[in-house]
Amino acid sequence: MPELFLDRYVYLFVLVLLAIGLYGMLAKRNLVQKIIGLTIFTTAIYLFFIEGSVKDGASAPVIDPALGPTVDAADYVDPLPHLLILTAIVVGVGIVGVALAMVVRIYRIHGTLDEDELVRRMSAPKAEVGAPGDTPGADRPDDDGTAADDGDGQSPDDERGGER
């Protein structure tokens, strides 16, 4: 039994993190909390993938000439999962960026981030949605300008991720 735990404990912990993230995505009503759940879930998947690259007695995949002219693959951990997860982290930031842009826009139109409240508003008759007085955000026009500025700041951030 202890041996089974030593061989498998990373899978167990990753599974707990996946469950927490999934619960956050499905059960939480606040849209930003859902995105936080999504981030927890994706990071747990990264951990699972990197766990697949681990080899006993192996070091980081940077070739050391001191180990001799020929390279023995057993001395280094598997580089391929590292590369795939590097790509996945950058794409994950892109996903969060787009999701947050949608959240900001939903808040601008409906004035709330609560899922149940949004469903209630969207199933209401069409004229009410976006009508003056219906949106709490509508009586603060200067609030809107700052929101748009934040949005513009988001795209250079995303491009910086692409340059890496």
DSSP 91-115: HHHHHHHHHHHHHHHHHHHHS--BH
Q: Work out whether 144 is an interface residue with other proteins (CB under 8 A).
A: yes
The DSSP code for 89 is H
Binding track, positions 74-103, relative to other proteins; x by CB under 8 A? x-xxxxxxxx-xxx-xxxxxxxxxx-xxxx
Cβ of residue 124: shortest distance to other proteins, in angstroms?
Answer: 15
Cβ of residue 96: shortest distance to other proteins, in angstroms?
Answer: 5
Applying CB under 8 A, which of residues 119, 122, 124, 131 lies at the interface with other proteins? 131
60-63 long-range CB contacts below 8 Å, 24 or more apart? none
Q: Work out whether 124 is an interface residue with other proteins (CB under 8 A).
A: no
To the nearest 10 degrees (0 to 180), the angle between helices 31-51 and 79-110 is 180
Q: Work out whether 155 is an interface residue with other proteins (CB under 8 A).
A: yes
Q: Work out whether 45 is an interface residue with other proteins (CB under 8 A).
A: no
Q: Work out whether 67 is an interface residue with other proteins (CB under 8 A).
A: no
Applying CB under 8 A, which of residues 73, 119, 122, 124 lies at the interface with other proteins? 73
- Amino acid type, 111: G
Applying CB under 8 A, which of residues 118, 119, 120, 161 lies at the interface with other proteins? 161
Q: Give the separation between CA 141 and CA 134, rounded to whole angstroms.
A: 14
Angle at 134 between CA 132 and CA 135, to 5 degrees: 90
Q: Give the separation between CA 33 and CA 36, rounded to whole angstroms.
A: 5
Cβ of residue 1: shortest distance to other proteins, in angstroms?
Answer: 14
Q: Work out whether 22 is an interface residue with other proteins (CB under 8 A).
A: yes
